[in-house]
Chains A and B, each alone.
Chain A
Amino acid sequence: MPVSDDAPPLEDRLRSAMDAGVEAVEATAGVPVADPADLGRRRVAHHRRRVAGRGAAAVLLVAVGVGAGVVLTGDPGGDDGEEVAAREDPTTTAPARTDGVVIAAGQELPVVAPSLDRPLQGSGGLLRGETDTGLMASLPIRIRPLDRPWYAPPILPTVPLFTRTLDDGTTIAVAGNRYDPAIYELPAFWEPPAQCFPTGDLVVSIDRDGTRWDAVSNRYDAVVAGDLRVAAAPIGPAEDRWLAVVQGPPGTATIRVTFPGGVSDEMALADGVAVLTAPVVDGVEIGGSDPIDDAPAAELTAVALDAEGAEVARYVGPWTLVDDTGEVDVPEAPVRRADCAWPTTLPAPGPEQPADPAAAEAAVRAVWDGAFGRPGVTTDAQKLAVVDDPRGVAEGLADAARFRDVLDLTDDITRIDGVVFTSATEAHVQYTIDPGFEQGRPIPGMFGELVLVDGEWKVTRLTVCRLVILGNGRCAPLPTG
């Protein structure tokens, strides 16, 4: 927009714009609530809003006591209704242990879809081998004190994995879940190596001296050889005790962590996870836990040992979260795995192609453009008509329209950049989202799938529901059974 010479200074116009933006937000969301109790309720409502839309998986857990353990059953499908097969569910049933660890048995992890923001919030911890996939791969650890009336913890559906009891009476209960893979919008043709993406949450609840703290970290189905997943932070009202959540590579039997000051703890893996704790030594500068302190933090050492006590992996480094933006000083650049890089091209064509590939591609493009290439023109009903299984999609479109927070399905254009047929009945498209606002940066490299149903190309339900997720909505879950 051309600006006249007598226009107010940019700074003033910017101030006015920011005032207008805040006023617009508060016109719909209200003035930020400064009452502690009210804020707590708002926070619960916020999380409920996000979780409830994800369907029964979040809440339909039925506990049935079986022997010493607990069996929990829930919706085995993702909330997009897609069948979600856990690659390696932690369902260990171990014999009685003598190290204070009691392993829950027979549980099935509930499937949840992490909200767009929740996995990104981290207040400390470290990741070894962190990826730069441009996705939500980074929740080292978050500490959740539950001793403040105004604090409302996130609602995370989980099932218990194991409980560790320390000599001083402290109990550490570990629970887990698994993510609905749809949230990652992985192209259907790409199977990323393990450890590229967190596959669930680990919720660690520490009860000590009548105070409970929750720590939330990522869970991975597998850790690659030679690597460790380590999340650590001080916990407690005075941050007087370390907590580390560690997952080891194949062959790991035991994890040993030496915290700053030389205190250490060791634990045999339970369900692939070890939770280590030790007191913070007086006088040891822990660093990093201070939310305003970017200084390099104290180092800890985590070692994975096999059954014979031989070392299979080691991490030595700071416990603070490293920053990968390059914008701030960081003690150490994150290690990046090239094989986790997001695909940038479509797969190779399959051996079987449509009888008339050109006509098939034209049909695919017409279906796609008709549904997603004409913002403001195509109705939701028209979009639903081209979905192979539209159950729950209408709710998702309405959900996304309500939030209008990330992707606006009524304004943003999706433009096909390429089409590949992996079979005569399966098409993969690569597309770009053009945000429907001025100066909006296009989001390229999106992938979607279409299938041939009764002679007509249909967009898969998962493809549409991924778009809905981008719009901060959720498709309604498919009925189970």
Chain B
Amino acid sequence: MAATGPERPLRIDRADPGPRATVTPLPRVREDGGFDAFYRASLPDLVRVATLVVGSRATAEDLVQDAFVRVHARWDGIDDPTAYTRRAVVNACRSHLRRRVLEHRHRASLATGVAELEARELLDALAALPVRQRAAVVLRFYAGLSERDTAEALGCAPGTVGSLVHRALATLRQAIER
């Protein structure tokens, strides 16, 4: 098994950023609205998260829809559809970005329409991060997930999230201060 990295994971003790205004917190438990209601409620936010991770809105829509297909197949056996689907989407994004050439070709598209220079630089630097670091940053600071929920979505230990975020922030800081 591959280790998560040669360095010892760093834990970052930081207050939870809290939910973002653009992301509606979803219930952690099933409601009786059924799959379609869950789909309607959660799709926009998941597409936004996936867009930030893969850098392409059209691709994000495809990936999220594919994830929903798989979630639907297991719907009756899922206790926490939100966490389950979020992880399915993150996995789909990571699968999509496995090819490095395509990964870096897909960078920068989000920054195109952003007016502020620093925001563009940050989005470009975000797009250049390794996939797991990028996903960790998006889930933590855009989706406003806790370390625990981020870890659940990434399929890793909470301490690993701290390490991923720490390394990502260091890279981002270096990028914008260069």
Q: Give residues in A with beta carbon < 8 Å to B.
A: 1-3, 10-11, 13-22, 24-25, 27-29, 31-36, 39, 42-43, 46, 116-118, 120-123, 134-138, 142-145, 148, 150-151, 237-239, 290-292, 294, 321, 323-330, 404-408, 435, 437-441, 443, 470
Contact = CB atoms under 8 A, between A and B. Distances in A.
Contacts of A16: 119
A231 B72 CA distance: 22
B95 A25 contact: no
* B72, B99, B114, B155, most chain A CB atoms within 10 A: B99
Nearest to B72: A148
B101 A134 contact: yes
A18 B87 CA distance: 20
Contacts of A2: 177
Interface string B53-80: 0001111011101110111111000000
A27 B20 CA distance: 19
B40 interface: yes
Given A17-B120, A17-B126, A291-B92, 14 more contacts: A1-B118, A14-B169, A16-B119, A17-B114, A18-B142, A20-B116, A21-B114, A36-B40, A46-B61, A123-B95, A145-B73, A291-B84, A435-B108, A437-B120
A66 B175 CA distance: 64
A291 B78 CA distance: 12
22 contacts: A2-B177, A10-B176, A13-B118, A15-B141, A17-B120, A21-B119, A24-B114, A25-B113, A29-B57, A29-B58, A36-B40, A46-B58, A120-B96, A121-B95, A134-B99, A142-B66, A151-B69, A291-B67, A327-B131, A330-B1, A405-B58, A437-B120
B102 A120 contact: yes
A324 B47 CA distance: 25
Nearest to A18: B142
B12 to A, nearest CB: 10
Interface majority SS (helix, strand, loop, mixed), chain A: loop
A327 B118 CA distance: 29
B94 A406 contact: no
B175 A439 contact: yes
Given A15-B141, A116-B105, A440-B124, A405 B56 contact: yes
Interface in B84-116: 84, 87-88, 91-92, 94-102, 104-116
B145 interface: no
B47 to A, nearest CB: 4
B126 A18 contact: yes
A117 B59 contact: yes
B36 to A, nearest CB: 6
Given A21-B110, A404-B112, A440-B108, A134 B130 contact: no
A437 B108 contact: yes
B118 A323 contact: no
A28 B110 CA distance: 11
B44 interface: yes
B93 to A, nearest CB: 10
Given A121-B96, A405-B109, A116 B119 contact: no
B26 interface: no
Contact of B137 (A14, A27, A134, A290): A14
Contacts of B52: 18, 21-22
A117 B87 contact: no
Contacts of B92: 121, 123, 291
- In this complex, the member of A22, A24, A144 whose beta carbon has the largest number of chain B beta carbons within 10 angstroms is A22
